[in-house]
Structure 1
Amino acid sequence: MTSSQLLVRPLAPSEVLHFRFGLYVGYAAQVRGLLDTVALAQAFAILRQAYPVLSARLVLDPSSQPAIEAAPELSAAIDEVSGPIDNPLFGLPDLDDRTAAIHTVRGNDNTATVTLLTHHAIADGHHSLYLLAELWHLYTACVTDAPIAPRRHDYPHSLEHLLDQRGMGIGPTALPDDAMLEALAAADIPPGPTERVRTRLSAADTASLLAAGRSAGTTINGLVSAALLAAHAQSRNVGIDTLHYTYPVDLRARLTPRVGYPEGTNVLGMAYFAADPDAGDDLLALARAVTSTLREGIATGAVFTGSAEFMSAAQGNSAGPEGFLSTMLVSTNWGIIPALSTPADLIIEDFYPVMPSNPMTSVAPYVITTYDGQLTIDTSAQSTDTSRLLAEHLHSLVKSSR
């Protein structure tokens, strides 16, 4: 039981799903050099003061509804273990429904992986990446004794609140029904840490892929989506039109006035794409189709209401929820990772998105990022064959621009 005096607000429908499954997302920086644990703890404390939602926890209110509870007395979840730095979640303790935590895995060669974990109910990927950049800025300031004057922010609003503020007459968000939720909860999740599978292009190839997209009238997201669809269709030996592809769309820049990154929790719409049955093997044409469908969804407002088309396809699938899950393909594009500042005696060598095992990740998402100029697609539970095909398709698109 929680005290109603500490309750900030109930969770909105767009946030409740993440609470139900306890979904955290990790933003891991692999570092080399002198990592000052005391300064890191100090930086996190300042970050929590500036963004009070990071000092909160998620609870059930007296009416058993999920809610955000202010918990400033709750000690910061910041811990450190020795172990393999390529497993950022090694030794991760129970987060006890906290909204944020920092977990550090130290290697034995002056290396470490520092992971900021945020609960998906209170921050989406773009919001959390903003917080990550703030954390490293504060850490650098603490180490170098630079002046720090952080501005205190309000608790972030839900998507529903932000849309209502703007007078947008949009219907309720389309969320998974009970049958789909039960199928997710019953999904077979391997015990222990999931294996990360990575596909990365060089900075030069990433620039060429961007040029290919511009020339063909599509985007990096369209090109990567086409490569993912083609690779999965080939590895599963099915038609591309049998796959149900969905991905979140950041709505902040598409709202007026624009929403700042820390102003909203999950300011996301959902795009849905199903290829035409007579779609050929032209990746550029497929990429243009993905991009065109997204633009249409934005223009009609369909993207703002969640993936109504996706849920309609799921409910009408003859194989039932379990069979539909086997045809799902999910990606999330975090875009360009913001610059992460460090003091002179520490460098960030790499960046990893990580997700603790969870029913929501039983359909392993592909996380698309660009770090240090290099396009990277990270996922788990992926076959070697799919990974090989994805790389082949991306490189064929790179060559098309030369």
Structure 2
Amino acid sequence: MTSSQLLVRPLAPSEVLHFRFGLYVGYATQVRGKLDSAALTQAFAILRQAYPILSSRLVLDHASQPSIEAAPELSAAVDEVSGPVDNPLFGLPDLDDRAAAIHTVRGTDDAATVTLLTHHSIADGHHSLYLLAELWHLYTACVTDAPTAARRHDYPHSLEHLLDQRGIGIGPTALPDDAMLEALASADIPSGPTERVRTRLSVADTQSLLATGRSAGTTINGLVSAALLAATAQSRNVGIDTLHYTYPVDMRARLTPQVGYPEGTNVLGMAYFAADPHADDDLLALARAVTSTLRDGIATGAVFAGNAQFVSAAQGNSAGPEGFLSTMLVSTNWGVIPALPTPADLIIEDFYPVMPNNPMTSIAPYVITTYDGQLTIDTAASSFDTSQLLAEHLHGLARRSG
């Protein structure tokens, strides 16, 4: 329970599921050089002042409704431990339902990993990546004694509010039923850190894959989706038509007027795709089908209906919720990681997503990014067989650029 005087607003349906599972997402930057902890703390304090949502926490109000509560009295969650830099969540303390935190793991040399963690109820991937870039801008300004004033922003709105402002009615948001939620909640949670599996293309192969997409009338998202569907079906030894594939779609640039990254929490539609039998016989045709289905969903407004198609498929699945979970395939495309400035004595060597353990790791997504010119797919859900097959398919598609 908490005082209603501090409540900002209740969570909307598009935000509630993340609250139920306490879902945080981490944006890890592996750095090398001189990392000034005091400057990092100062930068995060300025960021919190500019974006008050970062000084909030997620609570149940007096009516047990999940809500955002202003909590400026909470000290900024900035902590640092010594440990393996390849495990950015090493020594992560209880986040106490805070909306955001900074966690740093320092190695034995001049390497460290700095991770921005945000609660998924208050920010999606694109919103959080914007905040990560802002954090490194502010850190660089603090270290170099440059002006660090930051404009104060309002609390971000929910997708439902933003659509209502634009006269777009989507009806009730489709949410998983109690049986599906119970299946998720009862899923096994790894006792230790989840193992991250990575598939990364070189800069040259990434450029070739882009060229393949242009010549074939599809996109990087379509090509990666096709390769991922084929690799998953082959590694599980199942028909590709048995997989239920879904991924969020950033709607900010597709709304009129457009929505800025920090203006909304989860400004996402949901795309759903079911492949035809033997669709993995022609990956380019499969990629075009994924892209065409997405375009149709945007044109008809189907993506605004959230998980409607996915939830309908889940509820009608004869194998029940547990069986349906085993057929799920989820990706999320964060696009090109924005420029992350640093002082001259510090460089960012790598970027990758991380997710603290929770029941949703049972359907952990494949996170698609392009960092430093290299297409990368990270996940905690993959087997190495799937990852190897995925890499083979992507390289094969890249070679078709000519």
The amino acid across from 2:6 in the alignment is: L
User: How far 1:278 sits from its partner (Å)?
Assistant: 4.8
Cα distance in 1 between the residues matched to 2:140 and 2:318: 55
Cα distance in 2 between the residues matched to 1:170 and 1:381: 32
What value does the CA root-mean-square deviation take over the aligned residues? Answer: 0.7
Cα distance in 2 between the residues matched to 1:9 and 1:143: 36
1:92 aligned residue: 92
Cα distance in 2 between the residues matched to 1:279 and 1:196: 28
Structure 2 SS opposite 1:265: coil
1:252 aligned residue: 252
Tell me the alpha carbon deviations over residues 334-364 of structure 1, each in whole angstroms, 9 at most, x when there is no partner. 0000000000000000001000011122112
1:71 aligned residue: 71
2:325 aligned residue: 325
Structure 1 residue 387 corresponds to structure 2 residue 377: no
Structure 1 SS opposite 2:48: helix
Tell me the alpha carbon deviations over residues 376-397 of structure 1, each in whole angstroms, 9 at most, x when there is no partner. 0000132121111000000000
2:310 aligned residue: 310
Cα distance in 2 between the residues matched to 1:173 and 1:401: 40
1:269 aligned residue: 269
User: How far 1:149 sits from its partner (Å)?
Assistant: 1.9
Cα distance in 2 between the residues matched to 1:78 and 1:148: 19
Rate the CA distance shift 1:336–1:280 in 2: closer, same or farther, 3 A: closer
Tell me the alpha carbon deviations over residues 12-56 of structure 1, each in whole angstroms, 9 at most, x when there is no partner. 000010001000000000000000000000000000000000000
Contact 2:218/2:288, CA 8 A, preserved across alignment: yes
Structure 2 SS opposite 1:19: helix
Tell me the alpha carbon deviations over residues 235-269 of structure 1, each in whole angstroms, 9 at most, x when there is no partner. 11111110000000000001000000000000000
The amino acid across from 1:384 in the alignment is: F
1:144 aligned residue: 144
The amino acid across from 2:321 in the alignment is: P
2:364 aligned residue: 364
Q: TM-score, normalised by structure 2?
A: 0.99
Which structure 2 residues correspond to residues 2-401 of structure 1 after superposition, within 5 A? 2-401=2-401
Contact 2:122/2:266, CA 8 A, preserved across alignment: yes
Structure 2 SS opposite 1:168: coil
Cα distance in 1 between the residues matched to 2:153 and 2:171: 29
The amino acid across from 2:104 in the alignment is: T
Cα distance in 1 between the residues matched to 2:174 and 2:212: 34
Structure 1 SS opposite 2:30: strand
Cα distance in 1 between the residues matched to 2:102 and 2:225: 32
Cα distance in 2 between the residues matched to 1:178 and 1:302: 23
Q: TM-score, normalised by structure 1?
A: 0.99
Report how many residues are paired: 402
User: How far 1:280 sits from its partner (Å)?
Assistant: 4.7
Cα distance in 2 between the residues matched to 1:52 and 1:190: 33
Contact 2:179/2:321, CA 8 A, preserved across alignment: yes
The amino acid across from 1:194 in the alignment is: T
Cα distance in 1 between the residues matched to 2:169 and 2:108: 56
Cα distance in 2 between the residues matched to 1:58 and 1:67: 6
Which segments of 5 or more consecutive residues in structure 2 lack a partner in the other structure?
A: none
The amino acid across from 1:89 in the alignment is: L
Cα distance in 1 between the residues matched to 2:346 and 2:258: 35
The amino acid across from 1:277 in the alignment is: P
Structure 2 SS opposite 1:290: helix
Cα distance in 2 between the residues matched to 1:127 and 1:361: 21
Rate the CA distance shift 1:278–1:202 in 2: closer, same or farther, 3 A: closer
Structure 2 SS opposite 1:362: helix
The amino acid across from 2:127 in the alignment is: H
User: How far 1:202 sits from its partner (Å)?
Assistant: 0.5
Cα distance in 2 between the residues matched to 1:139 and 1:17: 33
The amino acid across from 2:273 in the alignment is: F
Cα distance in 2 between the residues matched to 1:177 and 1:165: 28
Cα distance in 1 between the residues matched to 2:362 and 2:76: 29
The amino acid across from 1:181 in the alignment is: L
User: How far 1:277 sits from its partner (Å)?
Assistant: 2.5
Which segments of 5 or more consecutive residues in structure 1 lack a partner in the other structure?
A: none
Contact 2:201/2:376, CA 8 A, preserved across alignment: yes
The amino acid across from 2:140 in the alignment is: T
Contact 2:226/2:280, CA 8 A, preserved across alignment: no
User: How far 1:176 sits from its partner (Å)?
Assistant: 1.0
Cα distance in 1 between the residues matched to 2:273 and 2:76: 41
Contact 2:201/2:374, CA 8 A, preserved across alignment: yes
Tell me the alpha carbon deviations over residues 69-95 of structure 1, each in whole angstroms, 9 at most, x when there is no partner. 000000010000000000000000000
Cα distance in 1 between the residues matched to 2:105 and 2:29: 11
Cα distance in 2 between the residues matched to 1:277 and 1:247: 20
Contact 2:83/2:105, CA 8 A, preserved across alignment: yes
Cα distance in 2 between the residues matched to 1:12 and 1:308: 16
Cα distance in 2 between the residues matched to 1:285 and 1:193: 38
User: How far 1:307 sits from its partner (Å)?
Assistant: 2.2
Tell me the alpha carbon deviations over residues 151-203 of structure 1, each in whole angstroms, 9 at most, x when there is no partner. 00000000000000001122122111111100000111221100000000001
